[in-house]
Amino acid sequence: MLRNPICSLLSIRLPFRPALVRRFHSSQQLPTPIPTSSTKSNSHSRPTSTMAASTRRIENPVLFICDIQEKFRQAIWEFPKVITTSQKMVKAANILNIPIYITTQNAARLGPTVSELTDLLSQSSDSQSSDRPEEIDKTAFSMLVPDLLRRLPEQSQTQSQPPSQVRTSSSPSHRLSIIITGIETHICVTQTALDLLDRGHRVYILQDGVSSCNAGERPVALNRLAREGCIVTTSESILFELLGDAKHEKFKAVSTLIKETKEETRVAVETLCKL
């Protein structure tokens, strides 16, 4: 009787080689079991809605308006849109009692801040006259000149430290969240943002509120700033983030401002925030 060749092959006993077994077990790691809900550590659990809401709020906000001057009116790409976004942010800062710091670059040659902004600053009803923002003139490209640094809140504890030490040692309570609009994106805005990061602050760049003489400089600068650690966002997004909750006492006033500037915002975003 002929034997089935397949059965013959199956009946062959191969010698046992424990070395191969050990090699297999040592090189193949079993996947780590995914912990169940009962074994997950509390420190890694998903935040509750209350926790998530609290992390959306921006702590210690400050508005920086960088060198939006008369002399640049004809030189800066889409300058009117930078003005309208900055106007909206000044109005919002007045509603939310956010400090405003405004600089000019060599005002003797480049002129004062545009009247569209200075008129709004003088109309602030929430600030005493002594607290109203004044234009700080400078020749340095960064806004962080000594005159401005002296006026920043919570600076007394970090003023004497080198920026590198401040960046690693500043506690959250001393860290400012600084929102920047102005010009030029790749020069004064960039150097201001880098100096703020070095001092341990959180920096928000409003893409619909910054520009340069050459439009092509903007995306290069914004990409670099994002890599450095800045948050590049839009004016409407930052306003809702400042509120954090529809129950905020200033929600109605800010939402009214957003509705009033809806068309200007749309045009600015479509122009200045193209991918």
Tell me what pLDDT residue 173 has: 62
* 174, part of any domain: yes
By the 10 Å C-beta count (0-12 exposed, 13-18 middle, 19+ buried), 271 is classed as middle
The predicted model scores a pTM of: 0.74
Residues with catalytic function? 67, 138, 188
Q: How far apart are CA 233 and CA 247, in angstroms?
A: 23
Q: Let me know: does 123 contact 91? Beta carbons within 8 Å.
A: no
CA distances from 202 to 16, 61, 195, 224, 273 (A): 64, 9, 11, 16, 21
Q: 159: part of which helix (H) or strand (E)?
A: none
Residue 26 lies in a domain: no
Task: Give which of 130, 139, 136 is closest to 149, Cα–Cα.
Answer: 136
Question: What element of type H or E holds 73?
Answer: none
Q: Tell me, yes or no, whether 88 lies in a domain.
A: yes
Number of domains the chain contains: 1
Query: CATH number of the domain that 109 lies in?
Result: 3.40.50.850
Q: Say what the pLDDT of residue 124 is.
A: 59
Q: What is the pLDDT of residue 134?
A: 85
244 residue type, one letter: G
- Mean pLDDT per 10-residue interval, the chain, length 275 residues: 48 46 42 41 39 60 97 96 98 95 97 94 55 87 96 60 50 84 98 98 98 97 98 98 94 97 96 86
The token duo for 195 is 């100096």
Q: Is residue 13 part of a domain?
A: no
What phi and psi, each to the nearest 5 degrees, are found at residue 59? -85, 140
Environment class of residue 70 by beta-carbon count within 10 Å: exposed (0-12), middle (13-18) or buried (19+)? middle
> Does 109 map to a domain?
yes
Question: Is residue 10 in a domain?
Answer: no
Range of the domain at 140: 57-272
Does residue 51 lie within any of the structural domains? no
Of 95, 94, 86, 97, which is closest to residue 64 (Cα–Cα)? 86
Q: Is residue 39 part of a domain?
A: no
